[in-house]
Amino acid sequence: MSDTKVYRASTTAPVNIAVVKYWGKRDAKLNLPTNSSLSVTLSQADLRTLTTASCSAAYKDDVLLLNGEPSDLTGARTQACLRELRTRRAALEDKDASLPKLSAMRLLLVSENNFPTAAGLASSAAGFAALVRAIADLYELPSSPTELSLIARQGSGSACRSLFGGYVAWQMGTQADGLDSQAVEVAPASHWPEMRALILVASAAKKGVSSTSGMQQTVATSGLFQQRIADVVPANMKRMEEAVAARDFAAFAEVTMRDSNSFHATCADTYPPIFYMNDVSRAAVRAVEAINAAAGQTVAAYTFDAGPNAVVYYLEENKDTVLGAFYPLLEKLDGWKEGAKGLKSTVQFDETVA
Ligand code: ADP
Ligand code: DP6
Ligand code: CO
Ligand 1 geometric centre to CA of 95 (Å): 35
Mean pLDDT of the region 107-118: 95
311 lines ligand 2 (CB under 6 A): no
Q: How confident is the model at residue 354 (pLDDT cuts 50, 70, 90)?
A: low
| Percentage, residues of the chain above pLDDT 90 | 82
pLDDT of residue 348: 41
Q: Is the pLDDT of residue 338 over 60?
A: no
Mean pLDDT of the region 156-178: 97
Measured by CA distance, the residue closest to atom 15 of ligand 1 is 124
Q: What is the DSSP letter of 112?
A: E
54 lines ligand 1 (CB under 6 A): no
Candidate of 117, 154, 305, 309 to mutate for ligand 1, largest count of ligand atoms within 8 Å of Cβ: 117
Measured by CA distance, the residue closest to atom 3 of ligand 1 is 118
**What number does the ligand 2 atom closest to the CA of 156 have?**
7
pLDDT one-digit tens code per residue, 13-62? 999 999 999 999 999 999 999 999 999 999 887 789 999 999 999 999 99
pLDDT one-digit tens code per residue, 263-308? 999 999 999 999 999 988 999 999 999 999 999 999 999 999 999 9
pLDDT of residue 342: 27
pLDDT, greater one: 8 or 323: 8
pLDDT, greater one: 2 or 260: 260
Mean pLDDT of the region 116-121: 94
309 lines ligand 2 (CB under 6 A): no
Mean pLDDT of the region 227-249: 98
**What number does the ligand 1 atom closest to the CA of 125 have?**
4
Neighbours of ion ligand 3 (CB under 5 A): 124, 211
Contact 353, 42 (CB under 8 A): yes
Q: Is the pLDDT of residue 172 over 60?
A: yes
Ligand 1 geometric centre to CA of 123 (Å): 5
pLDDT of residue 202: 87
Task: Tell me the C-alpha distance between 88 and 3, whole Å.
Answer: 22
* Mean residue pLDDT across the chain: 92
pLDDT, greater one: 328 or 165: 165
Measured by CA distance, the residue closest to atom 12 of ligand 2 is 158
211 lines ligand 2 (CB under 6 A): yes
Report the DSSP beta bridge partners of residue 11: 51
Alpha carbon separation from 304 to 96, 100, 121 (Å, rounded): 48, 45, 9
SS3 content of the chain, % helix, strand, coil (to 5): 45, 20, 35
Q: Is the pLDDT of residue 2 over 70?
A: no
pLDDT of residue 324: 85
pLDDT, greater one: 110 or 333: 110
276 lines ligand 2 (CB under 6 A): no
